[in-house]
Amino acid sequence: MKKCYLKIVSGTALAVMFLFASCHSAYEVTKAEGRMQPIDSTYDVAPDAEAMALLAPYKAKIDSMMYRVVGTAEMSMDKGAPESLLSNLVADVLRGAAAQVLGKPADMGLVNMGGLRNVLTEGPITCGNIYEILPFENSLCVVTLKGVYLKQLFESIAARGGEGVSGVKLRITKSGKLLGATVAGKPVVDDKLYTVATIDYLADGNSDMTALIQAEKRDCPPGATLRGLFMDYVEQQTAAGKKITSRMEGRITVED
């Protein structure tokens, strides 16, 4: 049996797969080493000229897309619990986007703070800015829940100290307990059906949103990514001569 030695840089699953592919049954693995290889600005000091020339036309095309200005932010907006300008804005966009499924906005919009990865700064908004804020391929999902499970959803949001919501108001404690909740200003009725516009990641029960798995109905229109919906919203507002803005409205308040 032949012996095989493989040195792995940045030991990854890919390297392990390569190990097994290279050192198949005809070989015996005698040793394996690995180390982390930092990928940072040191690689920019002496870039490979041939590689840069090869990538140049593709970079130019991407830059022309990413630097395209699609709107203007009236103010800087960041995420933060229990409520923030950016999370309010994105939750509003999701809630409004449910109209393509329901013919009207959903009762509630929901986005997790962890899905918002950058600040929307005051001034011009480029496509690149939107990709930085919403880098994941999360898609719109409209779920229909009974009120009893909606209350459980609110409890999960309270336990996490707040998430991005629209159409509802929650009162929570510092310790993460739900004190009260309303939808469109009204108390939640256990056997009534409510619609929640969120992303597929949360609709699958991730980030402790397991109540969403109890949906009576779930509709996730193909191709409706959150990033695309947000881009559409910005362009529509811009076409109407409006800047992108948001407000703090006491959607989630923390009480002692």
**38-75 confidence digits (pLDDT tens):** 878 877 788 888 888 888 888 888 877 888 999 999 99
d(CA 103, CA 106): 9
Q: Provide the whole-model pTM.
A: 0.80
Instruction: Give pLDDT, residue 48.
Output: 82
On whether both 108 and 17 belong to a single domain, the answer is no
On whether both 93 and 20 belong to a single domain, the answer is no
Instruction: Give pLDDT, residue 181.
Output: 98
Q: Is residue 48 part of a domain?
A: no
On whether both 18 and 127 belong to a single domain, the answer is no
Number of compact structural domains in the chain: 2
On whether both 93 and 145 belong to a single domain, the answer is yes
How is residue 200 written in tokens?
Answer: 């597929």
d(CA 219, CA 107): 15
pLDDT tens digits for range 171-196? 999 999 999 999 999 999 999 999 99
On whether both 121 and 246 belong to a single domain, the answer is yes
Other CB atoms within 10 Å distance of the CB of residue 218? 16
Average pLDDT over residues 28-46: 80
How is residue 255 written in tokens?
Answer: 């009480």
Average pLDDT over residues 161-168: 98
Let me know if 181 is exposed, middle or buried by CB neighbors in 10 A (0-12, 13-18, 19+): buried
How is residue 242 written in tokens?
Answer: 């409006």
Instruction: Give pLDDT, residue 115.
Output: 95
Residue 207's region, left for phi above 0, alpha for psi from -120 to 50, else beta, is: left
Let me know if 223 is exposed, middle or buried by CB neighbors in 10 A (0-12, 13-18, 19+): exposed
How is residue 4 written in tokens?
Answer: 């095989």
On whether both 209 and 166 belong to a single domain, the answer is yes
Q: Is residue 43 part of a domain?
A: no
d(CA 200, CA 249): 26
By C-alpha distance, which of 94, 95, 194 is closest to 139? 94
Q: Is residue 213 part of a domain?
A: yes
Q: Is residue 52 part of a domain?
A: no
Is the per-residue pLDDT at 34 higher than 50?
Answer: yes
Measured at the CA of 150, the angle between CA 146 and CA 153, to 5 degrees, comes to 145
Q: In this structure, what DSSP letter does residue 34 have?
A: E
By the 8 A CB rule, do 134 and 238 touch?
Answer: no
Q: Is residue 157 part of a domain?
A: yes
Amino acid present at 18: F
By C-alpha distance, which of 145, 254, 155 is closest to 189? 145
Is the per-residue pLDDT at 129 higher than 70?
Answer: yes
Look up the domain containing 31 and give its range.
2-35
